[in-house]
A = this chain, B = another copy of it.
């Protein structure tokens, strides 16, 4: 299977497109960190059944990403937002008038609202 981090990310974006059962198992396996055996016991199915469902879910998520590339775009946008914020900081350090400071503060607020944070 792919890395847990990557899977969690794919699940964040496309989880809503999976079946209820796939969602349940993904959340327990990747979210709650339960083992295949633990999930099998909880749902009263075989370990193999859990494995198969998780495998199908993983393939579905990868298929969606291949077609829609939302995770890809997420990272591109995140990078651009970080660059934009750095440029606004740079601008703020050049000595702005009160009016200019007000405008850059508005710009920063909009950038903050646009999403993916941090690095």
Interface size classification for chain A: 20 to 34
B80→A103 contact, CB < 8 A: no
- A32 contacts B by Cβ under 8 Å: no
Given contacts A17-B64, A17-B67, A77-B114, contact A91 B84 (CB under 8 A): no
Write 27 A-B pairs (CB below 8 A) sorted by A numbering: A13-B68, A14-B68, A16-B68, A17-B67, A17-B68, A68-B70, A77-B114, A80-B110, A80-B114, A83-B110, A84-B107, A84-B110, A84-B111, A87-B103, A87-B106, A87-B107, A90-B103, A91-B100, A91-B103, A91-B104, A91-B107, A94-B97, A94-B99, A94-B100, A94-B103, A96-B100, A107-B107
